[in-house]
Amino acid sequence: MPRLAARTGDRVLVTGATGRIGANLSRALLSRGYRIRAIVLPGDPGCRKLDGLGVEIVQADLRDAPAVAEACQGVDAICHLAALMGPDAGDMPVIDYWHLNVDATLHVLEGARLNGHLVKFVFASTDATYPASKPRYIPIDENHPQDPVNLYGLTKVVGERLCRDYLTEFAVPIAIVRYGGVASPDERASGATFRLSAQLQRFRDAKRSHNNYLWANVVDYERPWEYLEPLATGEGDPLIALTDLEGRPWQSHPTDVRDVVQGTILALENEVAVGEVFNILGPAPVSTVEAVRYLAERLGVPWRTAPVPFRQAIEVSTMKARSVLGYRPTVDFFKAVDDGLAMQRGEDIGVVPAKLPNR
Ligand SMILES: NC(=O)c1ccc[n+]([C@@H]2O[C@H](COP(=O)([O-])OP(=O)(O)OC[C@H]3O[C@@H](n4cnc5c(N)ncnc54)[C@H](O)[C@@H]3O)[C@@H](O)[C@H]2O)c1
């Protein structure tokens, strides 16, 4: 029987190793005694996150199939994390976006097939492959229909399907992890996503493009941002907690980057993960009112509730990862905020920040 679990000393190829998850995963794997090869985009400033760690850097764009195939040779396992998330894609033409997320995955899978000796291929997928912002039921488990509300989610559904084909046709030992709402503590503590200005922008974007998580919730409303405009009094940029018209808070399911790293390593190191898919999210969902109240107190900034006639309530089950892999997410929203504030004070909590400060 071929070995299907990675172990100390193995060489792991990480794509997306300069991202918020990839940089922390690479460090965690190095500290467990793995050797890391990273494919990074030429000129990527995030490469500094890997400085001095002894990571073997291959500069290549994943759209370059021969370069990717070469980088896949001689490794024992692959963690394929690189992607462009939908909301980050901005106004990128759909075809370019497809090349970035779908062709890139196909190239890494082809490299895996040509390698022929992998013990594991972990594919980073997402809860956006479900209609997470408009689910049929909650908590969303792995059997929930994959019916994404945006193009990003669709590219990951296709990526997952390609992975399954490479497992069936070529015995590439695939494990799929579906993350959701991931942030590093420094991002969590910034409170940026709850700012009125950010919420107004999000509501506007929801009517401009389908490559976001909100448009399906506001489909019946022509100018949803008008519910928030009265709050823009010109006095600062308060934190906003969205509720529905009955006062029920919106709910998100946040995940700390350290829990994602834990779940990914479990998928890498457990042979039972082959052919399986696991939701990897944080310990619990959080109400926006609780989250915003906590942040406002910690940051010493004003906050308001904003009633709107639609609601998102996201909750994803991690039961399968807990029972099959022993996954134990430990960092809830509140701890992540506290840890992020510690990072802002210059304390080293062992997390690579999402964005390095300018030198
Ligand atoms: N952050 C989240 O909330 C979240 C949620 C669910 C799933 N995911 C998935 O997890 C993975 C990692 O996410 P992240 O938050 O670290 O993202 P990130 O944006 O911080 O990092 C993405 C990485 O991919 C690299 N990349 C993008 N296009 C590339 C290309 N053509 N060639 C080579 N490298 C390329 C970038 O340089 C970067 O290192 C992604 O696949 C993402 O879809 C993230």
Band the pLDDT of 159: cuts 50, 70, 90.
very high
Tell me what the mean pLDDT of segment 7-35 comes to: 98
Tell whether the model's pLDDT for residue 235 goes beyond 80: no
Tell me what the mean pLDDT of segment 292-302 comes to: 97
Q: Considering only CA atoms, which residue is closest to atom 26 of ligand 1? A: 82
How far does residue 76's CA lie from ligand 1's centre (Å)? 22
For residues 205 and 224, what is the distance between their CA atoms, to the nearest angstrom?
10
Q: What is the pTM of this model?
A: 0.97
* Residue range 95-104, pLDDT digits in tens: 999 999 999 9
How far does residue 97's CA lie from ligand 1's centre (Å)? 13
Pocket-testing residue among 81, 211, 280, ligand 1, by greatest number of atoms within 8 A of Cβ: 81
Here the tokens at position 148 are: 């994404």
How far does residue 101's CA lie from ligand 1's centre (Å)? 10
* Residue range 164-203, pLDDT digits in tens: 999 999 999 999 999 999 999 999 999 999 999 999 999 9
pLDDT of residue 322: 98
3-state secondary structure of 161: helix
pLDDT of residue 271: 98
For the CA of 125, the closest atom of ligand 1 is 7
pLDDT of residue 146: 97
For residues 343 and 265, what is the distance between their CA atoms, to the nearest angstrom?
24
List all residues 6 or more positions away from 175 whose beta carbon is below 8 Å from its beta carbon.
Answer: 120, 121, 122, 123, 267, 268, 273, 274, 275, 276, 277, 278
pLDDT of residue 274: 98
Tell me what the mean pLDDT of segment 119-125 comes to: 98
For residues 332 and 69, what is the distance between their CA atoms, to the nearest angstrom?
39
Pocket-testing residue among 14, 15, 18, 21, ligand 1, by greatest number of atoms within 8 A of Cβ: 21
Tell me what the mean pLDDT of segment 14-41 comes to: 98
For residues 129 and 144, what is the distance between their CA atoms, to the nearest angstrom?
10
Tell whether the model's pLDDT for residue 72 goes beyond 90: yes
For residues 183 and 192, what is the distance between their CA atoms, to the nearest angstrom?
12
How far does residue 110's CA lie from ligand 1's centre (Å)? 19
Here the tokens at position 90 are: 């901005």
Pocket-testing residue among 59, 97, 179, 316, ligand 1, by greatest number of atoms within 8 A of Cβ: 179
Q: Topology of domain 11-182+254-282+315-331, per CATH?
A: Rossmann fold (3.40.50)
* Residue range 299-338, pLDDT digits in tens: 999 999 999 999 999 999 999 999 999 999 999 999 999 9
Tell me what the mean pLDDT of segment 251-276 comes to: 98
pLDDT of residue 211: 81
pLDDT of residue 304: 96
Q: Considering only CA atoms, which residue is closest to atom 42 of ligand 1? A: 83
pLDDT of residue 294: 98
Band the pLDDT of 258: cuts 50, 70, 90.
very high
Ligand 1 surroundings by CB, under 6 angstroms: 15-16, 18-22, 39, 41, 44, 46, 61-63, 81-85, 100, 104, 124, 126, 179-182
pLDDT of residue 91: 78
